[in-house]
């Protein structure tokens, strides 16, 4: 398969077209791989999840998935990867909880680019270590999609934490590399992946590491994770997940005075960011009903240890980037 999408290739918009694509790819992957083994870094994001489901269908246990939990996942994410791939799809899945390795290295590091470098570098190290323990792997599967190829000299290149070492001696298997994101989602649904996995919002490779501002501490990271889970739940309940492109919480590393149970209560603020965009280059702020903002505020301040204020970020991009960091 070349790296250029032919003009004649119809956009995959229906389950029927997705089925046809899946059948073609299964044949192609089987022809490429034969009886050899394929390794895949499965983050739980849309692209790697769809590649995993497709390859499980094509080659079953010849696929070895490695899921590295860097400790910066959102609430329930690694659990969902295990539930869907190990329990439901019976995948050959190696789960590595590397939380301590990452958080120990990140302790005391406050500079954003340094944090990104540490997370990216350690990810490669952990993955490499696992890969070298495995025998007989000949191929590396990747969830490359067409915009990645188009933008490979552009913005996203430095973004991709999941990027793997260039000296890895594997031939690549990239079954969705000519698809756009919306097509990957249609294929994912046709493969039976849950909507919560296929329709998920973009999530940066360094995960909550870019939203736990300044030097990451475990208590503040936990507060961020819990607050983010509440935000997502309430956006789902209000069906805002269908109209808002990306929404999350960021927690800065300073405290302010508050009052709880008639006592002084110092806590961090939770900052809500909810934006709409088509290409992430610019972004607008949606009107979120006040009623929902009040409910989210009440829940976060009541349920999350360490948070005593909730703020709503009204800044479009530009001037604000989407992520804080």
Q: Does 322 bind ligand XMP (CB under 6 A)?
A: yes
- Between helix 181-190 and helix 46-59 the angle, nearest 10°, is 40
Binding flags for ligand XMP, 210-249, as an x/- string (CB under 6 A): ------------------------------------x---
Binding flags for ligand XMP, 275-304, as an x/- string (CB under 6 A): -----x------------------------
Supply the DSSP symbol for 213: -
Quick check: bond before 211 cis, omega within 30? no
CA distances from 321 to 156, 283, 301, 325 (A): 14, 8, 26, 9
Closest distance of CB 246 from ligand XMP, Å: 5
Among left, alpha and beta (phi > 0; psi -120 to 50; other), residue 192 is left
User: Closest residue (Cβ) to ligand XMP?
Assistant: 204
Q: Which is nearer to ligand XMP, 75 or 159 (CB)?
A: 159
Contact 296, 256 (CB under 8 A): no
Euclidean distance between CA atoms 220 and 241, whole angstroms: 25
According to CB under 6 A, which one of 71, 204, 209, 306 is a site residue for ligand XMP? 204
Q: Which is nearer to ligand XMP, 281 or 298 (CB)?
A: 281
Q: Which is nearer to ligand XMP, 111 or 219 (CB)?
A: 111
Euclidean distance between CA atoms 281 and 230, whole angstroms: 27
Q: Does 159 bind ligand XMP (CB under 6 A)?
A: yes
Q: Which is nearer to ligand XMP, 33 or 40 (CB)?
A: 40
Closest distance of CB 283 from ligand XMP, Å: 7
Q: How many CB atoms lie within 10 A of CB 6?
A: 7
Would you state the structure tokens that stand for residue 2, as one six-digit string?
A: 């070349």
Q: Does 313 bind ligand XMP (CB under 6 A)?
A: no
Contact 259, 246 (CB under 8 A): no
Closest distance of CB 97 from ligand XMP, Å: 21
CA distances from 4 to 119, 140, 147 (A): 32, 20, 11
Euclidean distance between CA atoms 20 and 40, whole angstroms: 23
Q: Does 175 bind ligand XMP (CB under 6 A)?
A: no
Q: Does 205 bind ligand XMP (CB under 6 A)?
A: yes
Q: Which is nearer to ligand XMP, 43 or 62 (CB)?
A: 43
Q: Judged by CB under 6 A, how many residues of this single chain contact ligand XMP?
A: 13
For 218-261, the DSSP string reads: HHHHHHHHHHHHHHHHHHHHTTGGGT-SEEEEEB-S--EEEEET
For 63-97, the DSSP string reads: EEEEEEE-S-PPTTHHHHHIIIIIIIS--EEEEEE
Stretch that binds ligand XMP, among 3-11, 83-91, 156-164, 228-236 (CB under 6 A): 156-164
Stretch that binds ligand XMP, among 101-109, 139-147, 159-167, 228-236 (CB under 6 A): 159-167
Stretch that binds ligand XMP, among 19-27, 200-208, 222-230, 306-314 (CB under 6 A): 200-208
Q: Does 323 bind ligand XMP (CB under 6 A)?
A: yes
Q: Which residues bind ligand XMP (CB under 6 A)?
A: 159-161, 202, 204-206, 246, 280, 317, 321-323
């Amino acid at each position: 398969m070349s790296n250029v999408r032919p003009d004649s290739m119809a956009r995959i918009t229906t389950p029927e077209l997705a089925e046809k694509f899946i059948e073609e790819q299964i044949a192609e992957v089987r022809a490429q791989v034969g009886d050899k083994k394929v390794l895949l870094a499965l983050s739980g994001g849309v692209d790697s999840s769809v590649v995993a489901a497709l390859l499980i269908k094509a080659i079953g246990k010849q696929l070895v998935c490695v899921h590295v939990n860097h400790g910066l996942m959102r609430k329930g994410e690694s659990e969902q990867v295990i539930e869907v791939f190990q329990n439901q799809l019976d995948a050959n899945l190696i789960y590595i909880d590397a939380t301590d390795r990452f958080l120990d290295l990140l302790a005391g590091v406050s500079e954003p680019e340094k944090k990104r470098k540490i997370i990216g570098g350690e990810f490669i190290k952990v993955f490499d270590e696992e890969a070298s323990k495995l025998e007989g792997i000949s191929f590396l599967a990747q969830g490359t999609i067409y915009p990645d190829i188009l933008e490979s000299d552009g913005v996203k290149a430095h973004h991709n934490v999941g990027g793997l070492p260039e000296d890895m001696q594997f031939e690549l298997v990239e079954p969705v590399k000519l698809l756009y994101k919306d097509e990957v989602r249609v294929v994912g649904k046709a493969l039976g992946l849950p909507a919560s996995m296929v329709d998920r919002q973009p999530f940066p490779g360094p995960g909550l590491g870019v939203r736990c501002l300044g030097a990451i501490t475990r208590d503040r990271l936990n507060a961020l994770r819990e607050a983010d889970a509440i935000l997502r739940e309430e956006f789902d309940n209000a069906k805002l997940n269908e109209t808002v492109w990306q929404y999350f919480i960021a927690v800065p590393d300073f405290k302010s005075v508050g009052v709880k149970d008639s006592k002084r209560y110092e806590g961090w603020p939770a900052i809500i960011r909810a934006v709409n965009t088509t290409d992430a280059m610019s972004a607008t702020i949606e009107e979120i009903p006040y009623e929902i903002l009040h409910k989210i505020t009440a829940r976060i301040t009541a349920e999350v240890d360490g948070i005593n204020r909730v703020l709503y970020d009204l800044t479009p991009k530009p001037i604000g980037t989407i992520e804080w960091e």
